[in-house]
Each structure stands twice: as C-alpha cells, then as structure tokens.
A and B are shown apart, each in its own frame.
Chain A
Amino acid sequence: MPEIFGIPSAALFGQLLIGLINGSFYALLSLGLAVIFGLLNIINFTHGAQYMLGAFCAYFLLSRLGVGYWWSLLIAPLAVGAFGVLVERTMLKPLYKLDHLYGLLLTFGLALVIQGLFRNEFGSSGLPYPIAKELTGGHNLGFMFLPNYRAWVIVASLVTCVATWFVIERTRLGSYLRAATENPALVQAFGINVPRMITLTYGFGVALAALAGVMAAPIYQVSPQMGADLIIVVFAVVVIGGMGSIMGSIVTGFGLGVIEGLTKVFYPEASNTVIFIIMAIVLLIKPAGLFGAQR
C-alpha cells in the first residue's frame, strides 16, 4: 500500500473525509455566528447553548411526542429560532447602541443560565438519540467505511451553507440586509422595517445553530455541555475566517475540520489545540482574518 509520511494513503483519505464531516459542523455553526455578527454586530455567545437546545428539542420531540428525526430538522430550528426572536426583542435590542462587550456579556451569561438549568434537570452524561432508520448503515468506500449518516451530514451542511451564502450575497432580500447594516436610517427611509429584519436575522442565525444541534444529536451525546465544548472552537473558526464574513466562515469551517482531522493522525495529543495555534498565527499575519475586510 502506498504511504504518505509513513501513513498508509488509504487511512489518510479516511481521515480527510472525517475532517470534512467535523468541518460541516464547524461551518454550520460559524455560519450562524457570522450572519449574526455581520448583520447585527452582536457577538452571540449563546450560540453553543442554542445548538444544545436544538439537540434537546429533537430529543423531546422523539421521546415525548414520538416525532421523528426528519420533522425535527424542521420543527427544532423553528422553535429555537422563535426563542431567539424572543431573546432579541426583550434583551438584545437595548444593547445595539452600546459597545460590543455588552452584547457579549449578556449572551455569555444567558448561555451559562441555560446550560445550568439543563444540567440541573438532565445531568451531564447525556441522553440517547437514535439515527433515523433511513440513514443507518453505511458504505464501504474501499479506504474506509462511511456511515450513511455522516455522508448526509456533509451534504446537508454544504447545501445549507451555500443556500445561506446565496441568499445574503446574491438576492434582493440579502442586499436589503447588507444595506441595513451599513446605514439603517437610510434603508428605513426607503420604507423597509429594519428592526423587524434584524430580529428575523437573529432568529435565522439561531435556527442555524439549532439545525446543527439536531444533526449532531444522533452522533454526539445530547448533553447540556455539548455546545459549551464546541463553541470555543467555533469562535476560533470565525476569527480565522474573518468576523462576519459568510464565505470566510464556510471555507475555514471545512478547512479547519480537515486540518484537525490530519492532526489526529500525525500528533493526536495536539488535536484540540491546533485550531488555536492557527488562530494565533492568522491574527499575527492578518488581524482581520483570512476573508475579513479591514474596517
């Protein structure tokens, strides 16, 4: 078998693919963050908790109401998104005029409260959530066994990311959104309800987090802590990609997933630090991030 740096190439392909799968989650989550930061200027630290809420929502739907995975993919983001709208209306709105730091503190505190409440109620070892029947099993690709569910995660995440990018960068609605961030007063003068648009944008970003949560439920544990562990990495992804850059967050999400996957082969002990090392290097060389515009 041919080898690359002492690792059989077949194994390496497998690791690349797994990196892409993990990258899908990074991309989905950082996308939501980028949308919220880019259009609202809020650093949404509740994102991890909202991702967790998505997974729990799927769990409740299944265990209490018997609603399966596919409907959860729709219902959970809507429900959690509605919660996001409520948060934006009642708590975030008064903070727009203030420094970024206030939004950050509020969302961070909110995340702690939500996670604490869930931990109190459900403990830390997590709850079981099965893979949907249609997606169990897998295919042997020759170099690795690819579970169907993981293949689905890559596809679903890519589609969501590209669709979001398209809506924001290429449609009329997207152009309103971008204009509203540049100059809200002027856009309002054209008869567009800017506050409502902003609220819905936040709800959408939150729904993206919940969607990622539902997709994560069958493969990671559904536990109150699941978002807190991930969110730090995702923030690093956003910083590397450039705060607020939609394309940046998608590309770096997938890219860093792959880099992390390779680290797990060559030097597994560093696999949870490698992203931060990259972040430090990127910040030194390009402080606005790889895709960020200097403001």
Chain B
Amino acid sequence: MSAVSKLSAAMGLALAAMGAPLVANGQVSDGVIKIGVLSDMSSLYADIGGPGSVVAARMAVEDYGAAKKGMKVEIVSADHQNKPDVGSAIARQWYDVDKVDVIVDVPTSSVALAVSEVTKQKGKAFLVSGAASSDLTGKACSPNTVHWTYDTWMLANGTGSAIVKSGGNTWFFITADYAFGHALERDTEQVVLKNGGKVLGKVRHPLNAQDFSSFLLQAQSSKAKIIGLANAGGDTINSIKQAAEFGIVERGQNLAGMLVFISDVHGLGLTTAQGLIFTETFYWDLNDQTRAFAKRFAPQNNNKYPTMVQAGVYSAVLHYLKAVEAGKTDDGTKVVAKMKEMPTDDPLFGKGRIRADGRKLHPAYLVEVKKPVESKGPYDYYKIRSQIPADQAFRPEKEGGCSLVK
C-alpha cells in the first residue's frame, strides 16, 4: 500500500468516526442503522406496499434528518413474493449476514407471522405495516414486533358493525385461503354475531385467483344480504369487478369489501367502486399535513398517491429512529421497548402510542367511495363518513390473548 492510499484510508476512518457520534460511544452495532423494506414488489400487493414503501421509508429518514444528526441510515429492500419461506429466508440472511437492524412493511400475513418469529429469535425489530392479521398482536405477539397501520379486528369492527347496524344482518364470506383471510373472516364473523347478524355461508378461494364468478354465484344462491370480501388487492378488485358484471348489487345483495386500499379504488375506477364502504386509518386528503405528504410522495412513486400501508411505513420508521436516538442503541428488543415507552407523534397519524402487545393506536375512518361526479381531481376518492377514536378502533388489549399483557 502506498503512502498516499494509507493516508486516505486513515482519513476515511477518521471521518467516518466523526460523522457518527453514536458509533463513537459504541452503541449502534457496526455504525449503521440498516432498514430492510421487505414487501411484495411484483405481484398483487405491490401497489399497496411494494416500491412505494421504500419511497416512504426513504422520506422518513430524510424528514428525521438522520444525516444532520450524524446517524448513518441505510435502506435495503427485497421481494418476498408472498411466500412465507422466501420471506423468512430473506429475513434470516438480512439479520445474520447483511446486518439489517429492522424490517418494515411485510404485507401478506402468513409471511409477516414467519418474519415476526425470525425477528424474535434474532432479537431484532419488526415494524409491520402491510400485514393485517390481528394475531400479530394476539396469540402470536412478540416483544420485537410492532403492528403499525391496521389489523383485521379493526377492519371487522369498523366496517362490519357499521354495515350490520344499517340493516345488513345476513352475511356470506368470500375468503382468501390463508392466514390473513381466515383472521379477517373470523374477526368479522364475531362482529356480525355480536351485533345480532347471521352468517349463512362461506367459500375459500386460493390467493391470487383470476375468476370469482363461481364463488359469486355461490354467494348469490345463499341469499345473504351482504357478501363480505375477506380478501385484498387484486383479489378484491376482481371480486368487485365481476360482482358488478353478474348484477349482484342490482339484484339486491350488497358487497362489503373488508379490506380495500386507495390503490384498489384507483384500479377499479369510480364507476365500479362508487358507494363502497370500508375502513382506513389514513387518507391523503385528511388535513394539510397529509396533503403535503402526498404531494411530495406521488412524484417519487410514479404519481401514485400513498396508501395507508405506505403512510404507516413512513410513520413507523420515523418513530423507530426517534427511539434509537433516545435509547442510544439499535438493539432490536431494547428499541421496541423504547418505542412502546415513548408516545408517538407524526404528521400522518397524529399523536398516539404503542401498547404492550405491540399494537400502535390511532383513529380509524369509515369511508365511502365518491360517485364519479363528486370527484374533483386525481385520487379524490373518499368521503369520510365517521371517525372511530383510537381507543375504540382496535381490539381491547385484554381480549387478544397476548402473553406480554399482564
């Protein structure tokens, strides 16, 4: 090695040390906070989280001002293809080899449950935004997992009870046949029964099915007033589109999309989607701060506006970085404990907190899709029908069966 290169290497080391005060006191492992965005990058949920979640995470790091504070934050991303085995293999490699400190997003409940288990074994941190199963803070809860944006209990409670109370008291479920669908169906069924409704039947379809006419026909012959769609993404879009074709609504039955995202409404078009009622925890047109976020976000995401999952990624990463700074550590278990200790506050979800079982609390909104004539601009899709306060939106802590709750 020449003298010059020796010198520059030494200078580089010195600069790195000066640039990262957290490293200097040896608290952040390897000097870098590495955030892994694990999502469906290429298939039916890619518009819900996917590349947009990476954009959201990057914006959170920028807005937190990590560089100015001397924190070195890196973002990596991968496609879990909605397969639990692929997802947990990536998580293992990230934790063991690539020194990732925290994994965020992870739509598809079966994958999220697998990653939550790996994260617990490795003592890292896992911030769930995309997955829905309420089991993540129930019987499968973990001291290393925070469930941020929404869950099946919240959807069932928000949408289900509103519909049963307005007269939709007999239900038929069309359910995606995996952890998420089962959880959503179970949670909705409970709400329906509790409010005095009846479930007349159910049918389970494989994930990413093309044709729903057969299932819709079964729903039709059940004569249930409400057809509950316990599925998501492309599956929901196809169900709704084909239900319109088969004249389900014209013939007196109504659809309840239990989990609908703004990207789904965009894909359906307002003509088909109008009048749908469902629950969200974020809408870009709520207030000045959410609007400002959406205006910055869209150009970086092919002009697609943020979904609640992407907003959740932003908010979760922001709170995570605050906790790392406050706790002066990136040890997963400790950071998550710190995150639960500190109240949350960000431009998108407002003030809130994280419960002992890992559930993040914030208000939810019952929304209705506008008619085409009511929509004034791009992504002007929702009317807010009512707001469900944070303490009522999510399952009471005691009822989840989480072992962390004493």
Q: How far is the CB of A42 from chain B (nearest CB, A)?
A: 26
- Map CB proximity to A onto B27-51 as digits: 1 under 8 Å, 0 otherwise: 0000000000000001111111010
A138 to B245, alpha carbons, bound, how many Å?
A: 8
Which residues of chain A are within 8 angstroms of B211 by Cβ–Cβ distance? 18, 22, 220
Q: How far is the CB of A274 from chain B (nearest CB, A)?
A: 11
Which residues of chain A are within 8 angstroms of B214 by Cβ–Cβ distance? 15, 18-19, 261, 264-265, 268, 271
Whether A268 pairs with B215 at a CB distance below 8 angstroms is yes
Chain A residues within 8 Å of chain B by Cβ, number: 44
Q: Does B304 contact A (CB under 8 A)?
A: yes
Whether A269 pairs with B267 at a CB distance below 8 angstroms is no
Q: Does A109 contact B (CB under 8 A)?
A: no
Q: Does A144 contact B (CB under 8 A)?
A: yes
Whether B42 pairs with A123 at a CB distance below 8 angstroms is no
Whether B242 pairs with A125 at a CB distance below 8 angstroms is no
- Map CB proximity to A onto B214-251 as digits: 1 under 8 Å, 0 otherwise: 11011011000000000001100110011001110001
- Map CB proximity to B onto A111-149 as digits: 1 under 8 Å, 0 otherwise: 000001001110111111011000001100000110101
Number of A-B contacts (CB under 8 A): 119
Nearest B residue to A11 by beta-carbon distance? B221
Chain B residues within 8 Å of chain A by Cβ, number: 44
Whether A145 pairs with B220 at a CB distance below 8 angstroms is yes
Q: Does A225 contact B (CB under 8 A)?
A: yes
Q: Does B206 contact A (CB under 8 A)?
A: yes
A55 to B327, alpha carbons, bound, how many Å?
A: 53
Whether B241 pairs with A221 at a CB distance below 8 angstroms is yes
Q: Does B264 contact A (CB under 8 A)?
A: yes
Q: Does A8 contact B (CB under 8 A)?
A: yes
Whether A125 pairs with B266 at a CB distance below 8 angstroms is yes
Q: Does A230 contact B (CB under 8 A)?
A: yes
Which residues of chain B are within 8 angstroms of A119 by Cβ–Cβ distance? 42, 46
Whether A138 pairs with B215 at a CB distance below 8 angstroms is no
Whether B304 pairs with A123 at a CB distance below 8 angstroms is yes
Q: A145-B247, A272-B209 are in contact. Are A11 and B217 (CB under 8 A)?
A: yes
Whether B210 pairs with A229 at a CB distance below 8 angstroms is yes
Q: Does A14 contact B (CB under 8 A)?
A: yes
- Map CB proximity to A onto B160-188 as digits: 1 under 8 Å, 0 otherwise: 00000000000000000100000000000
Whether A124 pairs with B234 at a CB distance below 8 angstroms is yes
Q: Does B213 contact A (CB under 8 A)?
A: yes
Q: How far is the CB of B387 from chain A (nearest CB, A)?
A: 26
Whether B206 pairs with A125 at a CB distance below 8 angstroms is no
Q: Does B203 contact A (CB under 8 A)?
A: yes
- Tell me the chain A residues, 215-273 only, with Cβ under 8 Å from chain B: 218-221, 223, 225-226, 229-230, 261, 264-265, 268-269, 271-272
Whether A271 pairs with B241 at a CB distance below 8 angstroms is no
Which residues of chain A are within 8 angstroms of B213 by Cβ–Cβ distance? 18, 21, 150
Whether B264 pairs with A125 at a CB distance below 8 angstroms is yes
Whether A144 pairs with B217 at a CB distance below 8 angstroms is yes
Which residues of chain A are within 8 angstroms of B329 by Cβ–Cβ distance? none
A12 to B237, alpha carbons, bound, how many Å?
A: 26
A10 to B221, alpha carbons, bound, how many Å?
A: 10
Which residues of chain A are within 8 angstroms of B210 by Cβ–Cβ distance? 22, 220, 226, 229-230
A124 to B272, alpha carbons, bound, how many Å?
A: 18
A18 to B242, alpha carbons, bound, how many Å?
A: 12
Nearest A residue to B264 by beta-carbon distance? A125
Which residues of chain B are within 8 angstroms of A123 by Cβ–Cβ distance? 46-47, 50, 263, 302, 304
A-B contact list, 8 entries, CB within 8 Å: A10-B221, A15-B217, A18-B217, A123-B304, A125-B47, A229-B208, A268-B177, A269-B204
Measured CB to CB, the residues of A under 8 A from B are 8, 10-11, 14-15, 18-19, 21-22, 116, 119-121, 123-128, 130-131, 137-138, 144-145, 147, 149-150, 218-221, 223, 225-226, 229-230, 261, 264-265, 268-269, 271-272
Give the top 4 A-B pairs by smallest Cβ distance, nearest first.
A128-B269, A125-B267, A124-B46, A264-B214
